[in-house]
Amino acid sequence: MNFKELLAYKKSCELAMDLFELSKTFPKEEKYSLTDQIRRSSRSVSANIAESYRKRRYVNHFISKLTDSDAENSETFVWLEFALQCKYINQEVFDILNKKSIEIGKLINYMINNPNKFGCNISQ
């Protein structure tokens, strides 16, 4: 299996692209703050999943990178909340994107809790 086939990777890339498109509508004064932050954290979720999969030979490295991915997913949620509170997005958009973020978090945590199902050698 390739990391691109992982459901968590696919869904995190989808959310990152959703946020990229959405952030194009944010005010220009947010370019170097909210816009950059939400793009970076959402993209980092996918990048850390990819890195974790490449490090699956060592279970602790695998889990560490997935933990980083989960943290980036949580950071993305915070930026989404700011976008809502600043009225750059409405509640409906927030709810849709938040639901995707929660699902991604569940998938990442499943991987963390079941490294053997992703090619990690637990006996190390």
The pLDDT tens digits for 7-53 are 999 999 999 999 999 999 999 999 989 999 999 999 999 999 999 99
Question: Rounded distance, CA 94 to CA 110, Å?
Answer: 24
| Mean pLDDT score, 81-101 | 98
For residue 89, give the DSSP letter: S
- CATH classification of the domain holding 22: 1.20.1440.60
In a domain, 122, yes or no: no
Domain, as residue range, for 73: 3-115
In a domain, 84, yes or no: yes
**pLDDT at 123 (0 to 100):** 63
Total domains in the chain come to 1
